[in-house]
């Protein structure tokens, strides 16, 4: 369907205040879920990031890649084991995590950004000892709890005019490699960068007052309201740790945090550059 020229002009005018708001500011995107599994959605997301970077937004992409880790483990004959929803990571699995995330997934995303006309450089938490970690729980092996984030490598890449693409592999001072939860890494990185906003791409439309009613979407939440929703059982299951990541990012100084549905094409642009938005905003 062809959009009339006047309508296009009005769309651009309406986006102008948001472009001005984010110009020169840091926007961290946590990328995961089904948006990483579809080539069509991957292309849409990388195109969104390229557009934002080219209008002056300092975009940082943080990604995980659970399915790719599992796929590589199976190819090497290693069976994935989970405890409390987290991947048990022995030394061999930590090596596989590093290969899958810092290698295959990271470089694929960098390549896709360049194919969209953007400029990107891939990083992982080991580079410059960006993400320092310690064991989260002995039974989980090399699953890391973040102890410190050094944002300088990311800032250097931004200053050079590139989009930093960060895979969530961490390390400690002894050189051990850790598998880091991508939501948690994004929260810490956004805080360390003093980001204007953090966008968490998920497989849900946002926070719902009624689990099966999309019309009950909560468009805006304060930190105290979010905690209350958890206590009241409005937020349950896997949305609880995601909500805590959003809350913690606000507490670390991020101005706004969004949960958006990564299954929606161009969800990032809709959230950042329009009045309506599509997800839940924490403030």
Among the options 141, 170, 242, 262, which is catalytic?
242
- Is 78 an active-site residue? no
- Asked whether the beta carbons of 277 and 217 are under 8 A apart, the reply is no
Among 27-36, 220-229, 268-277, name the most confident range. 220-229
**Dist CA 60 CA 228 (whole Å):** 31
Q: 229 CB contacts (<8 Å, ≥6 apart)?
A: 207, 218, 221, 235, 243
**Dist CA 86 CA 157 (whole Å):** 31
- Is 156 an active-site residue? no
Among the options 21, 25, 42, 66, which is catalytic?
66
Q: Which residues pair with 135 in a beta bridge?
A: 144
pLDDT tier for residue 43 given thresholds of 50, 70 and 90: very high
Among the options 33, 118, 122, 262, which is catalytic?
33
- Is 91 an active-site residue? no
- Is 125 an active-site residue? no
Start-to-end Cα distance in the chain: 37
Q: Which domains does the chain have, with CATH numbers?
A: 26-76+96-123+161-167+182-282 (3.40.1160.10)
Q: Which two tokens stand for residue 76?
A: 């090497």
- Asked whether the beta carbons of 55 and 23 are under 8 A apart, the reply is yes
Q: 124 CB contacts (<8 Å, ≥6 apart)?
A: 98, 101, 102, 106, 130, 166, 167, 168, 169
Among the options 32, 47, 64, 183, which is catalytic?
183
Kindly tell me if the per-residue pLDDT of 248 is higher than 70. Answer: yes
Quick check: pTM over 0.85? yes
Among the options 30, 122, 191, 262, which is catalytic?
30
Mean model confidence pLDDT for the chain: 92
- Is 42 an active-site residue? no
Q: Encode pLDDT of 78-135 as tens digits.
A: 998 988 778 999 999 999 999 999 999 999 999 999 999 999 999 999 999 999 999 9
């Amino acid at each position: 369907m062809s959009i009339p020229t006047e309508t296009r002009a009005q769309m651009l005018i309406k986006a102008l205040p948001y472009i001005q708001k984010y110009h020169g500011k840091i926007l961290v995107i946590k990328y995961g879920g089904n948006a990483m599994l579809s080539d069509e959605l991957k292309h849409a997301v990388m195109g969104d990031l390229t557009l934002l970077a080219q209008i002056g937004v300092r975009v940082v992409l943080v990604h995980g890649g659970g399915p790719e880790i599992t796929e590589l483990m199976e190819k090497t004959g290693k069976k994935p084991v989970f405890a409390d929803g987290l991947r048990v990571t022995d030394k061999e699995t930590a090596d596989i995590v590093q290969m899958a995330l810092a290698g295959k997934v990271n470089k694929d995303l960098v390549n896709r950004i360049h194919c969209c006309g953007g400029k990107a450089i891939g990083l992982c938490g080991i580079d410059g000892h960006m993400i320092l970690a310690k064991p989260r729980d002995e039974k989980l092996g090399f699953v890391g709890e973040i102890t410190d984030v050094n944002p300088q490598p990311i800032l250097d890449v931004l200053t050079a005019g590139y989009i930093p693409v960060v895979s969530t592999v961490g390390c400690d001072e002894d050189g051990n490699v850790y598998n880091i939860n991508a939501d948690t890494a994004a929260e810490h990185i956004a805080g360390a960068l003093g980001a204007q906003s953090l966008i968490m791409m998920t497989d849900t439309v946002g926070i719902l007052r009624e689990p099966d009613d999309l019309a009950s979407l909560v468009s805006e939440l304060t930190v105290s309201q979010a905690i209350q929703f958890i206590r009241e059982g409005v937020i349950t299951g896997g949305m609880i740790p995601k909500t805590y990541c959003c809350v913690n990012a606000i507490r670390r100084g991020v101005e706004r945090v969004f949960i958006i549905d990564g299954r929606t094409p161009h969800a990032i642009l809709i959230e950042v550059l329009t009045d309506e938005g599509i997800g839940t905003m924490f403030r």
